[in-house]
């Protein structure tokens, strides 16, 4: 790793931390510069606008997501084991130490869903890949004969995705001690419904 | 209505609009003052801090939510009709013209779930009332003999709530043309599962 890459990685980690705590709107180059002890002009060499910084932060988060959720899930066997692994790794993601304020994809969704531009464009294309990944895992479970042939895998994905969002809300906002068991109850029903 | 009340209502409507577009963190008294054409000191007479403004905005949103979602839902008959009415009114809420950036409760959840203080306190107590309202509607469906006696109404509520969050994500971020039909599919299954 080149020294300049390392610096960039460290800056992005700090930016992820700040965005998680305050949101993307409040992540200014000035605030980030003082957090990493650099000059604003030094930071402009890395990110020439706040918007570029926001895109780069999301790209860095997407990279971490691939490492911590997608890749390990692929180690589980096709079909239900993989779907359960996705759920487990995704849930752990919400409590990642480098994002103390919760999942940055949810933060970005709320902030950018109504703001056309490159940040929204990256977020949408990234989330579509993720949705496709889940749908693909469901399609493989159909192929393996574990899920029924006529299963609507997009509907399955919609419901699978909803479990995650409710968990984030119940665990982080309501501090519901049963938030996690509710996830597994809901997932059990979803799988039962999908089976061949 | 006293003149001062009317002014306050108008200011809060503008604040709701801004918070919906930019989030609560970016809703400063200065920005609001220039949006409504008042002096900052004039606004301080209404809200003596940004935090107070955030709480008052959430209270005003909660009042609108009661008028647009809770009260009309109570006109539907107990049991499934009321639960379907809640879903319908809640979905319409995400597209309310006065909140062009989407549901402010979701925005506030993402921003304040990790920020202890009066804004989070109000949000949590308000959301607990809402969760209780849904659970109560499910309990009435049990009482009416429509849902089975042993139904876990809190689990039902968790799942009902998840439908909404997924809809917000699918319709506003992904522009999924099927977002709404997915809601009704998911609700149909949830109701089927709950029936006596």
Q: What is the pLDDT of residues B101-120, one digit of tens each?
A: 999 999 999 999 999 999 99
Chain B residues whose CB is inside 8 A of the A165 CB are 162, 165-166, 169
Tokens matching residue A138: 């469901």
**pLDDT > 90: what percent of chain A?**
86
d(CA A7, CA A156): 42
Mean pLDDT of A139-159: 97
pLDDT at B2: 54
Mean pLDDT of A95-111: 93
- Range of weakest confidence among A5-14, B1-10, B52-61, B174-183: B1-10
Chain A residues whose CB is inside 8 A of the B166 CB are 158-159, 161-162, 165
Q: What is the CATH number of domain A57-194?
A: 1.10.357.10
**pLDDT: which is higher, B190 or A4:** B190
Contacts for B26 with CB less than 8 Å, ≥ 6 apart:
A25, A26, B18
pLDDT at A94: 92
pLDDT at B157 over 80: yes
Residue of A nearest to B99 (CA): A114
Highest mean pLDDT among B39-48, B92-101, B134-143: B134-143
d(CA B75, CA B79): 12
pLDDT band at B49 (very low <50, low <70, confident <90, very high): very high
Q: How many CB atoms lie within 10 A of CB B149?
A: 8
Mean pLDDT of B114-131: 96
Interface of B with A (CB under 8 A): 21-23, 25-26, 100-102, 106-107, 109-114, 123-124, 127-128, 131, 152, 154-155, 158-159, 161-163, 165-166, 169-170, 172-174, 178, 182, 185-186, 189, 193
pLDDT at B170: 95
Strand partners, A195: A147
pLDDT at B45: 87
Q: Where are the domains of chain A?
A: 57-194
d(CA A164, CA A89): 11
**pLDDT: which is higher, A6 or B140:** B140
pLDDT at A4 over 90: no
pLDDT at B6 over 70: no
Strand partners, B195: B147
Strand partners, A147: A195
> Could you tell me if B119 and B58 are in contact, meaning their C-beta atoms sit under 8 angstroms apart?
yes
pLDDT at B52 over 90: yes
pLDDT at A3: 54
d(CA A188, CA A50): 43
Residue with tokens 């304040």: B112
- Range of weakest confidence among A24-28, B2-6, B63-67: B2-6
Mean pLDDT of A94-118: 93
* Helical H segments across chain A, by residue range: 3-22, 29-36, 40-46, 50-65, 71-74, 80-94, 104-112, 118-143, 153-168, 179-194
Q: What is the pLDDT of residues A39-50, one digit of tens each?
A: 999 898 889 899
Name the superfamily (CATH) of residues B55-194: Tetracycline Repressor, domain 2 (1.10.357.10)
């Amino acid at each position: 790793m080149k020294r300049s890459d390392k610096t960039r990685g460290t800056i992005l980690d700090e930016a992820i931390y700040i965005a998680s705590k305050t949101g993307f709107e409040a992540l200014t180059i000035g605030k980030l510069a003082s957090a990493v002890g650099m000059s604003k002009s030094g930071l402009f060499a890395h990110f020439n606008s706040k918007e570029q910084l926001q895109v780069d932060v999301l790209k860095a988060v997407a990279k971490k997501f691939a490492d911590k959720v997608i890749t390990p899930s692929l180690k589980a066997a096709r079909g239900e084991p993989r779907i359960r692994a996705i759920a487990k790794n995704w849930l752990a993601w919400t409590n990642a130490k480098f994002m103390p304020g919760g999942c940055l994809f949810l933060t970005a969704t709320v902030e950018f869903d109504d703001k056309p531009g490159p940040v929204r464009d990256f977020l949408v294309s990234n989330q579509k890949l993720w949705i496709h990944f889940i749908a693909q895992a469901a399609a493989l479970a159909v192929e393996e004969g574990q899920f029924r042939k006529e299963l609507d895998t997009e509907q399955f994905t919609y419901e699978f995705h909803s479990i995650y969002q409710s968990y984030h809300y119940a665990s982080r906002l309501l501090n519901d001690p049963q938030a996690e068991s509710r996830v597994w109850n809901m997932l059990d029903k979803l799988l039962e419904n999908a089976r061949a």
